[in-house]
Structure 1
Amino acid sequence: MKTRTMTALGAAAAIMAVGGVVKADDPVNMTVVSWGGAYTESQQRAYHDPYMEANPHVTIINDDGSANALAGLRAQAQAGNVTWDLVDMLPSDAQLACDEGIIMPIDHDAMLAPAPDGTPASEDFLPGSLGECFIPQIVYSTVLTVNHEQFPDDKQPTTIEHLFDVENYPGRRALQDRPGTNLEWALYADGVPIEDIYDVLATPEGVDRAFAKLDTIKEHIVFWTEGAQAPQLLADGEVAFATGYNGRMFAASEVEGQPFDIIWDGQIVEWDGWVVPADGENVDQVMDYLYFATDTQRLADQAKYISYGPARASSAPLVSTHADLGIEMGPHMPTNPDNYYAPIVLNNDFWADYGDELRERFANWMLQ
C-alpha cells in the first residue's frame, strides 16, 4: 500500500505544480464523504457546484458518513476496496488514519493554492491547523444550545454548569454518543480550570471524576449520533438542552426560526477538514478539486452559508453576509470576540493518544 500511495502522491504533486489542472475526457464520479445537513449544503454551494460547473465531466456524489469515517476507511482498506474519494474528517481521527497509512500524506505548499498575495499555504492556514495528512477547511465549535421557550425569561441557562443543574434547570439533555466534549464539559462544570482540563483527563482519577459528574445527569440524557438529530430533538421539545455543532444550531435558529439560544461558554473549538483515502481511484481529480476548494476565496465563500470560520487567514477579510439571509456572519462565528470568552480548544494529540480507550469506556457507560 505504501508504494502505491507515494506514487499517487508524487503524481498529484506534479499536477499541482503546474497550476492544479487535470485534463480528462471520461466522466468521473467522485464520492465525497461529509456530515450531511446544513454543513454538506454549504460545501455543495461553495465548492461542489462551482467545481462541477468548471469541470462538467465530474459528478460529485455526497455521502453523509463522516460520523463513522475512521471505521469506514479502515474497513475499505482492509477489504482492498476503497470506494470513497475524499473524506471530511476530524483531526484526531485523521492522525490515527495517517499513522495507519490508510490516507495520503499531503505536501501542503505543493498541492494547495497560495494566498492571493503569494503567501504559501503552509503559512496562510491558521497556526496548528495543518496535519501530515490533513487539510483544514473550517474552525467550528461544539456548543450547548437551549430551547428558550422551555425556561422562564428570568431563569435562562447561560453556562455549562447549568447543563448539570437539573434541579434549577430541569428537562432532558441531548448529548452526542461519544466521549469528546462530554468529558471536557463534565470536568469544566466540576470546577477544573480550562487550561488544566486535559492534564486532569489524562489521569485515571480525572477520567473517574468526569464520569462521576456525567452520572449526575445520566437519567436525563438522550444520546444522538448524527448532527441533524440534536437540533431536531430541541425543536421537537423532546429536550431542553442539546449539544451540537454551532453551524447546525445557527441554521436552525436563523434560517428555520427555531427558538434557540447558543451558550458560548466552554465552546469546544476544533478544526474540520479533508483527508484523501489511500489507493482511491480518482486521486488526480481529487487533488485538482482540493486545489480549488481550499483556496482563499472558496473558504470565504463557505462562510456565506454556515457560521463556521474559514481556516485560512487570507479568507477572513472576505467573510461578509449570509447569501440568503443578508445578515452579517461575523457575530455568529465561534471566533468572534464576543463568543470566544471561555473556549476549550480541543486537544487532538490527547484524543489521538487516549481516544480508543475513552470511546470504549464511554460506550460501556452508556449501556450501564
Structure 2
Amino acid sequence: MRTSLKLHCASLAVLAFATSASHAAETLNVVTFGGAFEAAAKKAWFEPFTQASGVTFATESYDGGLAKLSAMEQAKNTTWDLIDMETNDAITACDEGLLKKFDKKTLGKTSDFISGSISECAVASMVWSTIYAYDASKLKAAPTSVNDFFDLQKFPGKRGLRKSPKVTMEWALIADGVDPKDVYKVLATPAGVDRAFKKLDTIKKNIVWWESGAQAPQLLADGAVAMVQAYNGRIDDAAKKDKKPFKAVWDAQVYDFEWWGVPAGAKHADAAAKFIVSQAQPKASADLSKYIAYAPPRKDAIQYVDKQRLADMPTAPENFKRAVQINANFWADNADAINKRFQVWLTQ
C-alpha cells in the first residue's frame, strides 16, 4: 500500500513537472506593429492568457508587409506563431497560403461580429483608424478637415505622412474634391492616380516621411511637423498618458480592421489559435479599449466599454460622419503597381 502510494505520488510529480515544463517551453512568438498597441495588447490579452494557460509571449515589431513572412515560409523556417496584420495583407497572405485556415466554429457566436471581420484565415482583433493630428498649443486656429492638411497658406508648416501610398492617396483625392464614397472608384482609374499624385505635389516639399507608427507622435512632439498623419490610438495614447496637447482631426478618417493570423508553418499553431479564440470573446475584446482607443469588432463587446471612452473611438457617431473604410481588395489588387509609381515619385 505504502509502495503503491509512493508510486502514485511519484507519477503525479512527474506529470506536474511535465505539464510545467510544457507550459514553460511554449512561448508564442508574436509580431505586431509595436508601440502603444503592443503595450495595450500585453495588458489586455497577453498577460491574462499567460495567467490562464501558462503560455508566454515573445514580441517583435514590424511595419506590415508580407516579404519576411513569405521568405520564412518558403525556407520552411517560420519563427512566428502569431502575426498582427492589416486587412489587405491578411487577404493576400490567405490567398498565397501563408496563413493557416481558421475554424470559425471555435469562436462561438459569430453573428455579432461586424460584417467582414472574420475571414477564412484570420480574425479581426479591433477597429483602428488613420487620422491626422496637430499640437493645439502651437496652432492659433484649429484645422477641421482633410483639406486643411493640404492648405499650406492657411496652415504653414511641415506635414508628417507615412511612407506609403495607402491613405495618403485617398486623402489627396478627397482634398481635391472627390466625395469619400467615390474615392476608390476614382483611384481605380489612371486619371485618378494621376490626380492624387498631382495633389500630393502641392505639399511634397513640406512632407516629412515616417515609417514606424511611434514616429508620428514623436514628430509632433519635437515640433518637426505642424500636422501629422497617425494611427488614432497613438495620438490618444500621447494625449492621455503623456499629457501632450495633441488633437485628432477625424474628417476623412480611413478606418480598418486589425487581424490576427497564424502562419502556415507556425510551430505553436494550436496555442496561437486558442489565444485568438480567447481574445475574441466579448469581454476580452473590449478590454483593449482600457489601454488604447481602438474599438472592438463585435457588437456584444460594446457593453463592456466605458461610455466616456467611446467618444475616442473611430466608430463614435461624431467621428464617423465622413469616414472611409479602406478598400482592402483594391489595395490587395493594386498595391504593387501603385507602390512602384510611389517609389519613383519619391525620387523625382
Task: With the length of structure 2 as denominator, give the TM-score of the two structures.
Answer: 0.92
Change (3 A) 1:99 1:24: farther
My pick for the range that moved more, 265-274 or 123-132, is 123-132
Pick aligned residue for 2:199 from 188, 191, 213: 213
Question: Does residue 77 of structure 1 match 2:73?
Answer: yes
Question: Does residue 64 of structure 1 match 2:44?
Answer: no
Equivalent residue of 1:48, what SS?
helix
The amino acid that maps onto 1:295 is: Q
- Give the Cα separation in 1 of the matches to 2:20 and 2:269: 13
Question: Does residue 318 of structure 1 match 2:304?
Answer: yes
- Give the Cα separation in 2 of the matches to 1:92 and 1:265: 23
Write out per-residue CA displacement over residues 232-264 of structure 1, whole angstroms, 9 at most, x where no aligned residue: 000111101000110110001121111111001
User: Which aligned pairs between 1:76-95 and structure 2 lie closer than 5 A?
Assistant: 76-95=72-91
**In structure 2, what is the equivalent of residue 231 of structure 1?**
217
The amino acid that maps onto 1:125 is: F
**In structure 2, what is the equivalent of residue 147 of structure 1?**
135
**In structure 2, what is the equivalent of residue 49 of structure 1?**
47
- Give the Cα separation in 1 of the matches to 2:129 and 2:282: 21
Conserved in 2, the CA contact under 8 Å of 1:296 and 1:314? yes
Write out per-residue CA displacement over residues 27-47 of structure 1, whole angstroms, 9 at most, x where no aligned residue: 212101111111001100011
Write out per-residue CA displacement over residues 63-82 of structure 1, whole angstroms, 9 at most, x where no aligned residue: 112x1341121111122110
Conserved in 1, the CA contact under 8 Å of 2:64 and 2:86? no
Once the two structures are TM-superposed, the CA of residue 132 in structure 1 deviates from its matched residue by 1.8
Once the two structures are TM-superposed, the CA of residue 355 in structure 1 deviates from its matched residue by 1.1
**In structure 1, what is the equivalent of residue 160 of structure 2?**
174
Identity in percent = 40
User: Which aligned pairs between 1:120-199 and structure 2 lie closer than 5 A?
Assistant: 120-121=109-110, 123-152=111-140, 155-199=141-185
Once the two structures are TM-superposed, the CA of residue 54 in structure 1 deviates from its matched residue by 1.5
The amino acid that maps onto 2:61 is: D
Conserved in 1, the CA contact under 8 Å of 2:89 and 2:332? yes
The amino acid that maps onto 2:344 is: N
Conserved in 2, the CA contact under 8 Å of 1:320 and 1:329? yes
User: Which aligned pairs between 1:106-125 and structure 2 lie closer than 5 A?
Assistant: 106-109=102-105, 111-112=106-107, 114=108, 120-121=109-110, 123-125=111-113
Equivalent residue of 2:64, what SS?
helix
- Give the Cα separation in 2 of the matches to 1:130 and 1:290: 12
Question: Does residue 104 of structure 1 match 2:84?
Answer: no
- Give the Cα separation in 1 of the matches to 2:134 and 2:221: 10
Once the two structures are TM-superposed, the CA of residue 149 in structure 1 deviates from its matched residue by 2.4
Question: Does residue 331 of structure 1 match 2:311?
Answer: yes
The amino acid that maps onto 1:357 is: A
The amino acid that maps onto 2:39 is: E
Question: Does residue 241 of structure 1 match 2:237?
Answer: no
Once the two structures are TM-superposed, the CA of residue 320 in structure 1 deviates from its matched residue by 1.3
Once the two structures are TM-superposed, the CA of residue 125 in structure 1 deviates from its matched residue by 1.2
**In structure 1, what is the equivalent of residue 12 of structure 2?**
none
Question: Does residue 360 of structure 1 match 2:340?
Answer: yes
User: Which aligned pairs between 1:275-354 and structure 2 lie closer than 5 A?
Assistant: 275-320=261-306, 328-354=308-334
Change (3 A) 1:72 1:357: same
Equivalent residue of 1:124, what SS?
coil
Conserved in 1, the CA contact under 8 Å of 2:90 and 2:259? no
Task: With the length of structure 1 as denominator, give the TM-score of the two structures.
Answer: 0.87
- Give the Cα separation in 2 of the matches to 1:48 and 1:347: 30
Unmatched tracts of structure 2, length 5 or more: 1-18
Once the two structures are TM-superposed, the CA of residue 24 in structure 1 deviates from its matched residue by 7.7
| Structure 1 residue ranges (4+ consecutive) displaced by more than 6 angstroms after TM superposition | none
| Higher alpha-carbon Rg | 2
